[in-house]
Amino acid sequence: MQPRWRRRVGGRRLVPALLVLQAAAIAGLGIALVHLLDERADNSYRTLSDVEQTAPTVGPTLRVVFADATSSERLRTLLEPIGGTIRSGPTTNSVYTIELQKSGTAAALEWLRTQPEVLFAEPVGAARTD
């Protein structure tokens, strides 16, 4: 009696058919991998402090996290005295990018940090006041 792998299936041997099927599966996985790597190469990932990949700004830029209960009206009221406008946000972590129309990053940060609705405020990139 012949071993199972040598038996004929429909007039053909089983092993060559399985080899062709395996080669097709490997090729399909290779194509899927190349496609996945190509999608990751689109450079869409950026960090919050990466100013180079965002649109050019006119004035200094800050990253600010407001309390969840802060209304949009209150947010505008908080930004008005420092000449701030929302550049982007909120992100999934409630981070806003605020562009200052006036200079005085240190004074703006100091004022924001005294407000109870502001949980976190920091300058971005070259605007750091370390």
User: Domain residues of the chain, as ranges?
Assistant: 4-40, 61-127
Instruction: List alpha helices for the chain, DSSP H.
Output: 14-40, 72-79, 105-113
**91 or 54: which carries more pLDDT confidence?**
91
**44 or 96: which carries more pLDDT confidence?**
96
Per-residue pLDDT of 23-34, as tens digits, reads 999 999 999 888
CA distance 20 to 16: 6
What is the rounded average pLDDT of the residues 11-37? 85
Q: What is the pTM of this model?
A: 0.53
CA distance 36 to 42: 11
**Second CATH level (architecture) for the domain 61-127:** 2-Layer Sandwich (3.30)
